[in-house]
Structure 1
Amino acid sequence: MNNKILLRLGLLFSCVLIISAAVIYFTFDIRALDYLTMFEPCCILLALGSLAVGLTFDGLRLITLASITEERLTMRQIVNVVLSNYFLALFTPGASGGAIAQVMFMRKAGVPVAKSTVVVLVRTVMSIIFLILLVPVVLHSDPDIVGWMPSSVITAVSAAFVSLPIIVIYLLHTRYPEKIIFYCTRKLSYTTRRNCIIWYQQFKNAVMVMGKHPLMVLRAFVESGLSLLFIYGTVPAFFTGLNIDFDLLQVMGRMVLLNLVLYFSPTPGGSGIAEAGFVVLFSNILPEGVEGIMAVLWRFAAEYLPFMLGAVVTIRAFGSDVLNMASVKSKTKQGRNHLQNGKKSQ
């Protein structure tokens, strides 16, 4: 294994250990020992089982989206795509590297880059839309979070979240998004402007392709939601092990809010923000002193364990130089631009 990836992995693990230790240190209370001694280990199996079901639905979603583009993937290829997402996602802000990993594995499986890009984009957009649509439910069912907000404001915010996907789909049928992109990037470099336009065109193409198969898209959307909910289910599984009373819907709602924020996190894999957000959201639900430990358990089960499995399959498939190979996506974009320019010159 080359020194570069060893160094990156070493830095990542050091960062994870430091953040985890800091979260536990600053939140731990001696009274937490009473709850920890009563913790039921069988609930760890419950959490891992919930994670396994969530990853299974993630794989089913991939099968559905691939079939829309008339592509077929074997079970092994599906497992590789799903787990590789966790590996590179933890290296990049907003988990953006996960998309590159998925395209790499789908390309290795024989899926054209254009089709794999559509599948990956839709996969990500579906997850975000599902969480956005749940925000109004969370706001109206959890007074501890929005108790300070007037009901009229909550209703307005809820209406905005529900209408957001509809507005986006409408705008995709107009020229306004392109005009906005051109205006907002007018002072940026040519490469940045070009990449913004390419990303928008890929996103628009993905939406248009999926719009031709509404029933399959609906199925994939349901699978997407079930995948997310079961993965978030690791948290109430750990809470059950503490033998405390909690509202399952309240816990799942707060996980929805937290993970929606993590999609736009500027830190690699949401490190630091995830743990801090967890402590803030669940400090009034958990016994004092255990929220930091629960945050670390959640991150290990839902992120770090799939990350380690993803590291094995990714490095085994692409070698230890996989981080350099991740640039294949940008190279593909450049090649596409040259091809388009060549056609125009002809």
Structure 2
Amino acid sequence: MPLILIFWGSIVTFLFVLASFLFIAFKYIPRIGIETIYSIDFKYLLFAIILFFLYHSFDMLRLKTIAEGFGIDYPYKYAYLTSFVATFGATVTPVHIGGELIIFYMLKRLGVKTHKIWGTILFKTVSGFSFFILTFPIFVAYTISSKEVIQKVFILSIIFLFFSIISLPLVRWFRKGEKNKNLIRRIRLYCLSIIYFWKNKKIEFLKACFYSILLYITFLSFAPILMKAFHLNFDLLEIYLIQLPLIYAVFSSPTPGGSGVGEVGGVAIFQGIIPAGVIGIFVMLWRFFSQYLGAFIGGIVFLTILIKDLRETK
């Protein structure tokens, strides 16, 4: 992936996030009293940090399991760094595609053969589908369970459509800037990797799917943990279910890292569940722990590795 795409993707992501946060701040922050800030139970923010590292642990184990299936071995420390860097790449590019391309860079610098890297990347994507396939019937059943949920999903759909339209120029520019445009070759690699894993590495594939499911469950757990920080009473199952439309929207959004959709969509989904005086700062913290903290750490790690590699090539 050309570095210019990373740079401009980072700028656009920053603008999307800034605009979304400013919208939330102007609309909801004025309703927050100073006592709301003082009343936050910071113990649960610590739990959110622990959850954050648990999330990246499952992400790391998923990729490492698949990589080992292709005979690729590397230390756990490097696996964690790859998880953070991939989060950065996914956050600053449309449809999270940069996360996969940066994984290519991280494995290529270890001297891994190209076909093994693409096989690993493609199967990481496939394993991620397992959660969405399993939860889709639940998502549909819950969505049509009440008019209130239908209304929330409808508003979320409008938000998704709005941000999709305004991000189209970025998506087109990104596709134009990609060097690898051979779609047929990608599909062929995709099919070959599926055949290889299904014939020879069923256990590794099932383990990767298991880690993916745990990863997304962890992602859904940020909301209840943060609600505890604000001393809110809630039905745990309802909080998990109400996030399903949101997680589908965020991870399929063409905006970089689901920015905009995650923030404004989060307000739409949690509206009525979380008080107006809390929902603004809640959504900001939710997006910070679930997406932007990992992206920030990953950006620093990627820049450090890139500078090191550039110096070694001189």
TM-score normalised by length of structure 1: 0.72
1:144 and 1:277 map into 2 onto residues whose CA distance is 19
Q: Which residue of 1 aligns with 2:154?
A: none
2:182 and 2:35 map into 1 onto residues whose CA distance is 54
2:242 and 2:298 map into 1 onto residues whose CA distance is 27
Assess if the C-alpha contact under 8 Å between 1:132 and 1:260 holds in 2: no
2:271 and 2:309 map into 1 onto residues whose CA distance is 42
Q: Which segment drifts farther, 80-89 or 288-297?
A: 288-297
Q: Does 1:238 align with 2:226?
A: yes
Q: Which residue of 2 aligns with 1:199?
A: 186
Deviation of the 1:32 alpha carbon: 6.0
Q: Does 1:104 align with 2:105?
A: yes
Assess if the C-alpha contact under 8 Å between 2:131 and 2:213 holds in 1: yes
Q: Which segment drifts farther, 10-19 or 244-253?
A: 10-19
Q: Does 1:125 align with 2:126?
A: yes
**Post-superposition CA distance 1:188-218 (Å, at most 9, x none):** x9x9996222222222122112212222211
1:136 and 1:14 map into 2 onto residues whose CA distance is 35
Deviation of the 1:141 alpha carbon: 4.8
Pairs within 5 Å for 1:86-97: 86-97=87-98
2:147 and 2:44 map into 1 onto residues whose CA distance is 27
Deviation of the 1:10 alpha carbon: 5.3
Pairs within 5 Å for 1:1-346: 9=10, 12-28=13-29, 30=31, 35-141=36-142, 143-144=145-146, 195-212=182-199, 213-319=201-307
Any idea what SS the aligned residue of 2:138 has? helix
**Post-superposition CA distance 1:256-279 (Å, at most 9, x none):** 332222232121111111111111
Q: Which segment drifts farther, 46-55 or 228-237?
A: 228-237
Deviation of the 1:80 alpha carbon: 2.3
Structure number with bigger Rg: 1
**Post-superposition CA distance 1:106-156 (Å, at most 9, x none):** 11122212111111121122223312311222443563477669xxxxxxx
Q: Which segment drifts farther, 290-299 or 311-320?
A: 311-320
Assess if the C-alpha contact under 8 Å between 2:93 and 2:257 holds in 1: yes
**Post-superposition CA distance 1:44-94 (Å, at most 9, x none):** 111111111111111111221112112211123212221111112122111
2:233 and 2:264 map into 1 onto residues whose CA distance is 23
Residue type matched to 1:195 in 2? N
Give the fraction of aligned pairs with identical amino acids, expressed as a percent: 25
Residue type matched to 2:187 in 1? Y
Residue type matched to 2:278 in 1? V
Assess if the C-alpha contact under 8 Å between 2:86 and 2:98 holds in 1: yes
Structure 1 residues 131, 33: closer, same or farther in 2, change over 3 A?
Answer: farther
Q: Give the total of aligned pairs.
A: 281
Deviation of the 1:283 alpha carbon: 0.6
Structure 1 residues 221, 146: closer, same or farther in 2, change over 3 A?
Answer: farther
Structure 1 residues 28, 55: closer, same or farther in 2, change over 3 A?
Answer: same
Residue type matched to 2:70 in 1? T
Q: Which segment drifts farther, 31-40 or 72-81?
A: 31-40
Any idea what SS the aligned residue of 1:94 has? helix
Deviation of the 1:320 alpha carbon: 9.4
Assess if the C-alpha contact under 8 Å between 1:31 and 1:289 holds in 2: yes
**Post-superposition CA distance 1:280-339 (Å, at most 9, x none):** 1111211123222211111111211111111122111123999xxxxxxxxxxxxxxxxx
